[in-house]
Amino acid sequence: MAAMATRKLIRDAFCKALVSRPFQGARHFSSAPETIHKIPHTSKKGRLLTGATIGLVIAGGAYVSTVDEATFCGWLFSATKLVNPFFALLDPEVAHRLGVLAAARGWVPREKRLDPQSLGLQVWGRNFSNPIGLAAGFDKHAEAVDGLLGLGFGFVEVGSVTPVPQDGNPKPRVFRLRDEGAVINRYGFNSEGIVVVAKRLGAQHGKRKLDETSSTLPSSSDDVKQGGKAGPGILGVNLGKNKNSEDAAADYVQGVHTLSQYADYLVINVSSPNTPGLRVLQGRKQLKDLVRKVQEARDEMQWGEEGPPPLLVKIAPDLSKEDLEDIAAVALALRLDGLIITNTTVSRPAPADKNPLAAEAGGLSGKPLFNLSTNILKEMYILTRGKIPLVGCGGISSGEDAYKKIRAGASLVQLYTAFAYGGPALIPQIKSELAECLERDGFKSVQEAVGADCT
């Protein structure tokens, strides 16, 4: 299999080189007759670079095809770094769209290596091979679940999904603050709607059941089953409300009725800054009424031995101490299954505030959000007395960042912006660094480190 993948990679590289070579030469030609047949110096350099690249691919492929699968897998992940500069040249939303399509069509590497044992943990009765997840907002329409989980994420969250399809806000609506490692977006819950997403998740669920039935691989009763309804990892479904909806609770209830059968956990998103009036739902009374109605809708459905999917709420980083106390009180009173902390911020933390694009409306994500969201995370862990599993999200770009979130109270963590910049190679890097952090400080597992800075 390694040799086949190598041959395909080499073939693709050759094809791209052959297709691009005439274009590269033609764009340097002058219209003057005396220079038509002359090969410019820059074109020669380009061809030399192309040849060198192909040579490296062939040499590297020839080497890794002779070694074990784990080495070959590592080489493929490292090779994805070569693609990142090309994505950086594209419009941010176009690059985002291409990234989703690549994962959906299997044009991304698939992780074959086992995660470090110290990273495994159980949350909500579900076994996670590692605590690193992909946040909602990347795969909004559940197009690439299998490909994204195959990258080695412990869990992937799709959405936000709205009941009725909507286009979201006008373009442009995504802006890179590259020097700051940040992004500002105002997508506005662009969604293909719950019917389309349900069909995709249903087809995927059916395929997995078929594969399990037809599998001839022996299984041991002593093995701990990793993953959930989506296969090799845990799948979360993030629910949103339509922009013009007058009954927010009805929108979330509809999402539960249609999508919960395919989800390992559900998220009520009341914290996006790009839907007017949405964040008002974080108020004590509003949140209590909303969560109660959604819980009732979920619990009225028929469930098997696994029971209903856990219900989480995703909150904003732009909350006062009183707001956090109200949310914690509601979460404890209604026995909420978890909180995701946090969504994007409408503030512009340094150094993002110095960037000219900081004036763009929308939510900011990425490195400048890290301290703000981590402080909120720690505060909420203390307010909930560690009784509710928390998911840390906001500004994570390294294993050390993930470790700090865990020590601040997160059982699980999520990436988005760093993944958009760093690509697939970032995932094994973060997992490796996190395992090193745990070992360095004497923790045998992620669970042992949760909330270590809050005692």
Give the residue numbers marked as catalytic: 272
Give CA separation, 215 vs 69, 152, 219, 226, 270, in Å.
21, 22, 10, 16, 41
Q: Is there a contact between 377 and 410 (Cβ–Cβ < 8 Å)?
A: yes
Tokens of 350: 């340094």
Element (H, E) at 175: strand 174-177
Q: Is there a contact between 383 and 324 (Cβ–Cβ < 8 Å)?
A: yes
| Cα 232–Cα 233–Cα 236 angle in degrees, nearest 5 | 145
How far apart are the C-alpha atoms of 422 and 434, rounded to whole Å? Answer: 17
Nearest to 417 by CA among 178, 120, 225, 196: 178
Our CA dihedral for 80, 86, 92, 95, rounded to 10 degrees, sits at: -60
> Count of CB atoms within 10 A of residue 400's CB?
14
Side-chain-side CA neighbours of 410 within 13 Å: the count stands at 26
Which residue shows structure tokens 């978890």? 338
Cα 80 → chain centroid: 17
Residues contacting residue 393 through CB under 8 Å, at least 6 positions apart? 135, 314, 340, 341, 342, 343, 373, 413, 414, 416
Strands 338-341 and 311-315: parallel
Q: Is there a contact between 365 and 183 (Cβ–Cβ < 8 Å)?
A: yes
> Count of CB atoms within 10 A of residue 90's CB?
13
